[in-house]
Structure formats: C-alpha cells, structure tokens
Amino acid sequence: MIRPLRYSLRMISRARGSALLRSGAVAVAAALTFFVLAQSSTVRAQAQDLAVGGIGVDTIERATISLTIIAVIVGALQVGVLMTRVVLQRMQEIGVLKAAGISSRDIFLVFLFESLIYGFVGGVIGCLIGLLIAVFGPMPGGEEILRAFAITVALSTIVATLAGLAPARRAVRAPAVEAINHAW
Amino acid sequence: MNENQEAPDTGPEPVVETRDLWKLFKLGDEVVKALKGVTLAVDPGELVVIMGPSGSGKSTMLHLMGGLERPTKGEIILEGQPLSGLTESQLSTMRHRAVGFIFQSYNLIPLLTATENVELPLVFDDVDTDEVRRNCAELLERVGLGHRLDHTPSRMSGGEQQRVAIARALIGRPRLLLADEPTANLDHKNGEAIIELLTTLNHEMGMTTVISTHDRSVAEHASRVIEMRDGKVISDSGPGQATSDNHLATA
Ligand SMILES: Nc1ncnc2c1ncn2[C@@H]1O[C@H](COP(=O)(O)OP(=O)(O)OP(=O)(O)O)[C@@H](O)[C@H]1O
Ligand SMILES: [Mg+2]
C-alpha cells in the first residue's frame, strides 16, 4: 500500500499545476456541500424559533439532503472524467509499468490513490471556500462548522475514491503493447 | 531427489525458446498473420540481432519472447518455464524478474528524473530504497550519464534518453534484454554508440540480448543474425561463439 501511495504522491507533486486544478474542480462541489451542511442547522434553528409559516423543518432537511446529493453527483462525475483523462494521458507510463512486470494491483492503487488524494485535498479546499461564503450568511457556530468540515472531507474523499475505481480499472486493463505504443 | 533421472547434458538451457510460434491480429474483418510458425532458441550470453523489413514481425517476436503478449498458437519457454500455463499475474512476475525491455521511442516518464526513471521497475518492490538509488547511480554512470542523474528527459538528447532507458531495463538484473529498434529514432553516430553500449554490456556482463533492427550495420556486432520476412525466419546464422560448441561440432 505504502509504495503505490508514495508513487502517487510523487507524480502529483511533479504535476503541481494540473493537480491543483483537479483538486479545485472537486473543491467546488465540496464547497457547496460544506455550505449547505453548515447552514442547515442554523437555518433549521431559526425556522423553529420564528415558526415561519410553510417552511417546516422537514423542508429544510429535504433541501439539505437534495443539495448534498447534487454536490456528490457533480463531484463524482468530475473525478470520473478527470481521472479518465489522467489515465489516458499516462498510457505510455502504464505500458512501461506493465512491461516491467509491475503488478496490476500496484498500478490500480497508484491511480486510485490519486483520486483519493484529489478528493481529500479538494474536500479541504472546498471547506475553506465554503467557510468564506458562509461569512455572508448567518454565521454558523463552531460545532456546526466542525461537523460540516468532517462530513464534507470524508464524503469528498470517499466519493472521489469510488469515482476513481473505473478509471483505475481502465489503467489496469489496458493492453500493455498498445499502451506502450500509445495507440490512443 | 534422484539425480540419475536428469537429462543428458545438451549444453546450456536456452534463456528463451519459441516453438512453432503464431500470432494473428484481427483488424476489422481482416486477419493479419504477424508470425507464422517461428521456432528458435536463444542461449545464455548470446547477442542476437533480428533483421527484417517493416511489418516482418520483429516487434511481435520480441513482445512474445518477453511475455508481453500471448501467442495465438505455439509455446514460449522463458528460463525453462513454459509461459502458456501462467496466469496474467504470474506472467507479469516473470517479466519483472527475468526481462528488460528497451523501446524505439525510449518511453521515459517525462516528469521523473533520470534516476527516478531508472528505479521505476523497482519502486513497488519491498527493497531497500537507498540501495536501489545507489545501483541506479552506478548504472547511469555505467551508461555514461553519471552527470545527468537529476535531469528530466526533456533536458536530454535522444541518445541520452535511450541510455537512461537501457539503465532502466537493467536495474532489475534481468536474464534477458530485449531491444526493439533501439536506434531507429537516433542519428547514425548516436545509434552506433547505443549499439556499442549494448555490445559492451553483452560482453562484460554476459547479458543475453536480442535486438531488432532494419539497420544492416547493427548486425556486425551480433554473435548471431536472424532474418525475418513476412512472419517467418528466413535465415539464422545459428548460435555463435557465445554458446556451447554443441551445434557447431563440425567446425
Ligand atoms: N496490434 C496489432 N493489430 C493489428 N495488426 C498488428 C498489430 N501489431 C502488429 N500488427 C501487424 O503485424 C505485422 C507485424 O508487425 P510488427 O510490428 O511485428 O513488425 P515489425 O517487423 O516490428 O515492423 P517495423 O519494422 O515497422 O517495426 C504487421 O503487418 C503489422 O501491421
Ligand atoms: Mg517493430
């Protein structure tokens, strides 16, 4: 586990610009998640206090869940597309690894870890962005922020990793010779 | 163990052997016969050059010998192990342990330094990283790039890149080195230097080497020249001095 992870980190650190861009794409979805989660409890409390006619706690709950689901889907699609592009870009490298007899498991993990890292870093960046946006609304309490932070980062990491499964499998399944010749 | 049942001594066991090797490719409705029944054996220490025009099946031959692809029909025996019985992952392990590949277009990883490119085949192994690093530096020095350890490929000439690729192929101490048109992208002078390097490695380390090329001058360095046409071997100078005198007893 540790060696594929180390290799992923090395490749990410060398492609700093594009890596940041990929994390940024994840961050947008994560920011939405964070914002919604952080605000929902505040809004819910206010709704209860004011007993605003029509806006029940249920409605807020439902809106929170829907927005989170949308953010998760957007984030998953983004990671899926980004990682597919990464795998295609690195076909030649994949071919070399295969020719050198690197195991499918290690090749798979290299790309899966890359997705995971984008999910995690994007999650953290997203929370920071979400926090900036939250300043303009009713400021949530420290506890809400922490809770939203934890959920967002965990969700982002898990979703990105799951979305990275298909591209990583694609890397493993690429026929070695075609990969080396960079036939696509 | 019953030693008496051992086969009589028939010279060294070939590093790689092919028996009636066929490889067909489907291209749409068409079937391309890349190899049509190739049988040959490469003995330890040989420097074999496979010559032939474009499309004659040289690359296919090397890919099959190195266990990078499976034949349509026939058997490959690498270090005494028939490859047909191996699973994909066993085949991969076999490549890892026994084979080093060198490609026409070097195929270095652009983001990695020379040293990192050379260590690539071993970065996932449970080995001492510092020792691997030292071996990388030694190998790079050996191929004449001791001063380029931390350079990335974009800062190196084609000849230098191919030297890095040679070091990368050797880092795992393979038994068999396969070079598919290693000089095709190089000018004459650099190409010559690469062939000289491969020849030296063959002589000094006894590295069993198979080089494919369509450059006639490369053949001058070989202990054995195999000519291919249209998926078949049309001539084979046979195992040279590098091997036992078994086949050349009449000389
Ligand atoms: N993946 C493939 N799909 C279809 N046909 C292929 C494939 N690989 C090789 N061939 C065909 O098999 C034949 C032999 O190809 P091969 O690459 O082994 O020749 P070669 O001697 O290496 O040629 P070159 O000197 O151009 O590299 C050619 O007709 C080629 O078009
Ligand atoms: Mg070829």
pLDDT, tens digit (0-9, with 9 covering 90-100), for B156-175: 999 999 999 999 999 999 99
B3 min Cα distance to partner chain A (Å):
34
Q: Is the pLDDT of residue B249 over 90?
A: no
Instruction: Report residue B5's pLDDT band, with 50, 70 and 90 as the boundaries.
Output: low
User: What value of ipTM does the predicted structure carry?
Assistant: 0.88
Q: Tokens 């700093």 sit at which residue?
A: A16
Residue A127 phi/psi, 5-degree rounding, is: -65, -40
Domains of chain A: which residue ranges?
16-181
Question: Which of B63, B123, B164, B166 best probes binding to A when mutated, by most A CB atoms within 10 angstroms?
Answer: B123
Quote the pTM value: 0.89
- Ligand 1: lining residues by beta carbon, under 6 Å: B 25, 27, 32, 34, 52, 54-60, 214
How would DSSP label each residue in chain A? -HHHHHHHHHHHHHTHHHHHHHHHHHHHHHHHHHHHHHHHHHHHHHHHHHT-SS--HHHHHHHHHHHHHHHHHHHHHHHHHHHHHHHHHTHHHHHHHHHTT--HHHHHHHHHHHHHHHHHHHHHHHHHHHHHHHTTSPPPPHHHHHHHHHHHHHHHHHHHHHHHHHHHHHHHHS-HHHHHHT--
* Segment B212-243, tens digit of pLDDT: 998 888 888 899 999 999 999 999 987 754 43
Band of pLDDT at residue A57, cut at 50, 70 and 90:
low
Distance CA A106, CA A6 (A): 11
C-alpha B92/C-alpha B36 separation (Å) is 25
Identify the DSSP state of B93. H
Taking Cα atoms as reference points, which of B215, B239, B168, B212 lies closest to residue B35? B212
Please report which confidence band the pLDDT of residue A183 belongs to, taking 50, 70 and 90 as the band edges: very low
Q: Flag whether pLDDT at B94 surpasses 80.
A: yes
Q: What is the pLDDT of residue B180?
A: 96
Q: How far apart are the first and last CA of chain B?
A: 38
Q: What's the confidence (pLDDT) of residue B242?
A: 42
- Distance (Å) from the alpha carbon of B168 to chain A's nearest alpha carbon: 9
Close Cβ partners of B60 (under 8 Å, ≥ 6 residues apart):
B23, B34, B35, B69
pLDDT score, position A184? 43
A34-38, B60-64, B135-139: segment of lowest average pLDDT: A34-38
Q: Is the pLDDT of residue B7 over 60?
A: no
- In this complex, which of A92, A100, A177 lies closest to B120 when CB atoms are compared? A100
pLDDT band at B181 (very low <50, low <70, confident <90, very high): very high
Based on the number of CB atoms within 10 Å of its own CB, is B55 exposed (0-12), middle (13-18) or buried (19 or more)?
A: middle
% of chain B at pLDDT higher than 70: 91
Closest CA to ligand 1's atom 30: B55
The residues of B whose Cβ lies within 8 A of any Cβ of A are 63, 66, 68-69, 88-89, 92-97, 99, 101, 103, 107, 109, 111-112, 116, 120-121, 123-126, 168, 172
